[in-house]
Every structure is written in structure tokens, then in C-alpha cells.
Structure 1
């Protein structure tokens, strides 16, 4: 019996040696397997020699941001907010300069008549887009003290061939400021408020104001002060026949005679002293 017990102890001792060696080797336990993730495609480098296509992922992803809806001027037509007429505009020449002053030849065509019958003053039935002040008035035109006189003096009540008294609002749409790239504006007299200089005579709803200068015809002109600091010198007077005023008139003799008076700009100056000058003959055709 004693021999059997000694034999079992020897066997157990022999088995314990490999287990102890394995424990002392310090083998780390196996780590759990991590879930695999899929990386996004990398942008391929340009390789002109291999001929492989260059896929620009950023441009493809932003493609929908470059798509824009057609605007209201798809066919080149616009609506003049001052008159409600349909207007088409075209630019012939643009000369870039060292300032923000517009040096270009622009023209437009709109509904209605520019002048009276047989008058070809500008570009056929197109009119040049240049800074100017326009008013339709009686035959005598807008002369003399254009700046210092009131509208009631410059545009009085007239007696029509039909035996009616016509107020200024009957034969005219008022004095309008026309500047390329902007909607036409009504020039209003006697602006009130501390924001206007003491020598101002007229203003617009877009914060233009006007002071008096001498025009080339000996009368008065207007110096326009734009909100951005630019100054427009309106001192070239042009007076051309306009369509007579009448009701379903069949000839010129049945309507009230009218003319179209224009104070064209001869110079535009910005805040840095850069300028653009215009030359316009009395016929209204733009020369340069």
C-alpha cells in the first residue's frame, strides 16, 4: 500500500512540471476579434501616363448645388417697375477700366414710342442707355430756370385743341432719372429733413439729391449726387418732338402738341476722382 501511494505522488509531480512551465511563459490571452469597418474611397491621384480617369468625388457630390432655376429674364425680357412696360436690353461693347465706372454701349427697346413720328434720334427704335433726366412736356420744353423753378412753374396748365384745360399730370409722367443698371426713378421736389444738404432742390426715393448748376444752353442744369458718392453732371439739353396727346387721334393736328426734354449727363465722377465723359449733339444721337 505504501508503495502504491509513492507511485501516485511521483506521477502527479511529473504532470505538474509542464503545467508550471506553461504558466510561467506569460502567453497573453487571445484578444476578441474587432469588427471590420469599410473605409471611404480615397481620391485618386492624377495619372496622365496610365490614362486612368480622375474621379473628383467632391465635384460629383456638389453637383446638385450648381443647378439653379431659370430667372425671370430667361429670354432677355424685363419689366420696367416705373412704367410696367416690357423691356429688352442689349450690351454691344464693354471697356474695363481701373474703377467701377461703367464704360459701355448699351441699348434697350420697350413698348410705346420714344419720340414723335418720323424722329430718328437714337438707334432706330432702340434707345441708348446713358445717364439722363427725361420729362415729357408742352411744346415750349423744359427751359430756363429748370432747377430753381417749381414744377408748377415749369409745367403749367395748358389749353388743348379740344378746348380742355390739361394739368401737368395729364400730359406728362413727371421728371424721371434714368441710369443704366437701375430702374427709372421719379425726381421729387422740395425734399424735407435734416439728412439733406441746405442747397438741395430735388431728391428721389432712392436717396439721390440734386443741386443747381449751369447748363450748356445757358439755362440751369442739375448735379446729381448718388448714394454711393458718385456725381452726375446733367447739363446737356435736348428737346425733341413727342407724340401729341389725344383720344383716338387720327392725325397730328387733333392732339395736344408735346415735346420730350432731356438733360443728358456729360460727366460722371466717382469718389476717387475717376471720370467718364459723354458727348451728345442736340439731335439726341450719341456720338461718343
Structure 2
């Protein structure tokens, strides 16, 4: 009888420690279900839209799949719809929506593309200048770079896009890893 009572006390103690330390599967599931019913305060992103104050474009961001992990790195499939993008320009898996991935983007001519052409070569990363004048398809019209080019932009999900700038002599120093970083953004992203 004494052994049985000692065993019962040991099981009860272990059970109390386990239930106090970690939530059960059913408790976690209940929290997830109740979390969707909570009412949040109305804010500036009431309809899920964001306005880029630099370009004036409106965009919508939708997360379709999100897997919780045990660190700060999110694992998710997120898509983005920006205003001003013509339907014929985008033909991906999400239609007019674009995958929300980090990228470098800009407005460039279809004739010259990403290259800068001319005597300076095609290496845009080393020769970070405007793309230059572009001739029209009939070769009688032309556009100067300030008429169509707003600069090269770095887009980071959740942070938006920011212009890539050429590092000036008075700019803050880049990382001290032995490499030179000729480009940076206002948010101090260093690019080489």
C-alpha cells in the first residue's frame, strides 16, 4: 500500500510539472482558434492596402501560407499586388500578383534593358549611373533618363522599397569584412 501511494504521488508530481510547463496540443489549438475571433483596433491598413509615400503607388500584400518556426526567420508564401502595373506586363503563377521576395528593381527601356551601354560597358553594378537616352521604335523620338527612370530600388518584404544610392565620401562606413561596398540605401543596406 505504501509503494502504491508513493507511485501515485510520483505520477501526480510529474503530471503537475508537465502540465504547468508546456501547453497541450488541445490548448494550443484552442488559442489559435480563439485568436482569429479577436477584434483588433482599426488602423491605417484597414483594407490591407499600403501606400508607398515615395512613388504614390498603392499595394496589397497577402500571405497565403505561413509556417511558424522556432526563430525569427519567417517561412511564408506571400504575394503582392501593386497599382499601376498593366495586366499584360505580368503573367506569373499568381496572375497580376507578384511573389513577395527581396529584389532589385527599376524602370528600364525594353531596348537597352538592364545594361547601360555606351563606352562604359554593360556592368551596371560597377558603373552605377543612369541608363541614358533611349530612342523610340521609329528612331525619331527619344527619352532622356529623368523622363522614365526613377532610379534602381531595393525591395525588402515587410519594409518596402528604397532607392539604391552611390556611396559618397561622407557616407557612413560599410561593413569591415575586407570588401568594398560602393552602393547603399537610406536604410543602410550595403550592396557590392
State the 4+ residue runs in structure 1 displaced beyond 6 angstroms. Answer: none
Distance in 2 separating the partners of 1:191 and 1:135: 21
Partner of 1:145: 123
Give, in angstroms, the shift of residue 195 of structure 1: 2.5
Give unpaired runs (5+ residues) of structure 2.
1-38, 116-121
In the alignment, which of 176, 184, 187 is matched to residue 164 of structure 2? Answer: 187
In the alignment, which of 128, 134, 139 is matched to residue 158 of structure 1? Answer: 134
How many aligned residue pairs are there?
A: 143
Alignment of 1:209 with 2:155, yes or no, is no
SS at match of 1:108: strand
Distance in 2 separating the partners of 1:119 and 1:110: 11
Q: How does the TM-score come out when normalised to structure 2?
A: 0.64
Alignment of 1:133 with 2:104, yes or no, is yes
**For the Cα contact (< 8 Å) 1:82–1:183, is it kept in 2?**
no
SS at match of 1:170: helix
Report the structure, 1 or 2, having the larger helix content.
2
**For the Cα contact (< 8 Å) 1:190–1:201, is it kept in 2?**
yes
Residues 86 and 118 of structure 1: CA distance in aligned 2, closer, same or farther (over 3 Å): closer
**For the Cα contact (< 8 Å) 1:175–1:187, is it kept in 2?**
yes
Partner of 1:14: none
Partner of 1:88: 60
Please list the CA deviations of residues 5-46 of structure 1 after superposition, one character each: whole Å capped at 9, or x if unmatched: xxxxxxxxxxxxxxxxxxxxxxxxxxxxxxxxxxxxxxxxxx
Distance in 2 separating the partners of 1:145 and 1:73: 40
User: Which structure would you say has the larger Rg?
Assistant: 1
Distance in 2 separating the partners of 1:203 and 1:119: 29
Give, in angstroms, the shift of residue 164 of structure 1: 3.6
Distance in 2 separating the partners of 1:76 and 1:118: 24
Partner of 1:167: 144
Higher relative contact order (CA 8 A, sep 6+): 1
Partner of 1:100: 72
Report the structure, 1 or 2, having the larger strand content.
1
**For the Cα contact (< 8 Å) 2:58–2:83, is it kept in 1?**
yes
Q: How does the TM-score come out when normalised to structure 1?
A: 0.44
Partner of 1:252: none
Distance in 2 separating the partners of 1:86 and 1:78: 6
Where does 1:1-288 land on structure 2 (aligned, <5 Å)? 69-113=41-85, 117=88, 119-138=90-109, 139-143=111-115, 144-152=122-130, 155-160=131-136, 161=138, 163-193=140-170, 195-197=172-174, 199-211=180-192
